Chains A and B, each alone.
Chain A
Amino acid sequence: MSAAPESDIELLIERARGGDTRAFEDLARREERALYRHALRIVGTTADAEDVVQDALFSAWRSIASFQGLSFRAWLFRIATNRALDQLRSRKRRPELPLEPPEDDDVTWAEPAAPGPDLSQLAGDREALALVEAALGSLPAEQRTALLLRDVEGFPYEEIAVITSVEIGTVKSRIHRGRLAVRNALIARGWRGPEG
């Protein structure tokens, strides 16, 4: 997302911390779209996602003095993720799914019922993407959040642990379970995995 050199970002962060609203707006604009897609896939509706991101950015501005440790991007994602999960809990729109499924290392790998198209060739397939989107939507919110932070936003496990305030082992488990659920949803529709 950020095409600007790291030093430019550092400079903007310093200016924002010093109260420069324009510098903060510059920084926020770089992540606006990413925060929105992330929030949208957590809360499920565009209006809620827009509110979440706007609130999160405003809150980030007010607490910019407390920013430290994380990368600025991870810090923004932490605020937005917390807001989005709070929003989801308060609305109780989705059926209550266990936030933390019981640990089971040997997660079931569903087998394809019949040979189907190759998963690796489906990235452009609208139907497959819709299926992935639906599978993501049915995941427990915490699994979905970890999966999105990893596979869409590209955060390392360590940062995901800080963003979601859990141990790194939990992050590993959530990401793996989330991927497996999406993979199983695809397999259930007749796709087979690529030959490996």
Chain B
Amino acid sequence: MQHPHAELSAYIDGALATAAQAAVERHVAACALCRAHVAELRATVALVHALPDPVPSRRLVPRLATVPAWLAPLRTVMTLASGTAVFLFIASSLVSNITFLASSGAATSAREASRDTTTAFRVDGPAAAQPASTSASGPTSAPSPNAPALARNPTAPPVAQAGDAAPTPDAAKVSERSVVGRSDAPGVAAPQDRGQFAASEPQRSPLLNPLLWLSLAFLCGAIAIALQRRLRRSV
């Protein structure tokens, strides 16, 4: 028998037909060269088998189970919402800055005269605008700002009570309305009144608070990014 060189790999794998396997085995037993080659091939196989296992840098199994159909639309909505919130953040920042600048001069001159009144407004919360008009009657009315309000605006009793009770959104709205309604009153244009108005502005409407929109923008943005990552993993 000639050297069965080409059969040696199949031989060591036991992949030859029974008769051929036996024939090669007999030859190898008698042939030192083929025995050496068989040993070399076995050693080569062992080396290939011992190659280190590379590890993927990410999960390669697609997430099929947890990708609902609404994930992609939700991501789009969240992206748009984040953009809108950024816009509103900028807009509300501008509005509050402009209001602040326009009134800062007047507020400075009025601050001294109405310090105790202002303190009362801060405690009042959303209804704080209400007593602003009461200061038109002078600093002397400051100790009991609710009484004049009741007297001058009897159609809005909740506003008057809001100074003492916990502020509610309804109270805030009524309060705004009552301020607007009284805007043509003689005392409103007085420097003291404008100063009070500006001081209570950030608390008057939570929707004008830039921080609200900023946090909303971050929140929506984070959700959109998370959804996007999730979607990319799944395809």
Q: Which residues of A contact B (CB under 8 A)?
A: 21-22, 24-25, 28-29, 32-33, 35-37, 40, 46, 49-50, 53-54, 57-58, 61, 105-107, 109, 118-120, 122-124, 128-129, 132-133, 136, 147-148, 150-152, 156-157, 172-173, 175-176, 179-180, 182-183, 186-187, 193-196
- Contacting B60 at CB < 8 Å: which of A53, A119, A172, A182? A53
- Produce 1/0 per residue, B49-76, CB < 8 A to A: 1111111111111111100000000000
Contacts of B225 in A (CB 8 A): none
B49: A residues at CB distance < 8 A: 151-152
Question: Which residues does B use to contact A, with CB under 8 Å?
Answer: 5-6, 8-10, 13, 15, 32, 35-65, 235
Q: Which single member of B15, B54, B59 contacts A46 (CB below 8 Å)?
A: B54
- A119 and B6 CA atoms in complex are apart in Å by 20
- B64 x A136 contact (CB < 8 A): no
Q: List 12 A-B contacts (CB under 8 A).
A: A25-B62, A32-B56, A32-B60, A35-B60, A37-B54, A53-B60, A57-B61, A122-B43, A132-B47, A176-B6, A180-B41, A194-B39
Identify the closest chain B residue to A132 (Cβ).
B47
| C-alpha gap A33/B149 in the complex (Å) | 76
Q: Which residues of B contact A36 (CB under 8 A)?
A: 54-56, 60
Give 15 new A-B contacts, CB below 8 A, not counting A107-B5, A157-B13. A25-B63, A50-B56, A107-B6, A119-B43, A129-B47, A129-B51, A129-B52, A132-B44, A152-B48, A152-B49, A183-B40, A186-B44, A193-B36, A193-B40, A196-B35
Instruction: With CB as the reference atom, state the residue of chain B lying closest to A30.
Output: B61
Of B9, B37, B63, B65, the residue contacting A193 (CB under 8 A) is B37
Whether B45 contacts A129 by the Cβ 8 Å rule is no
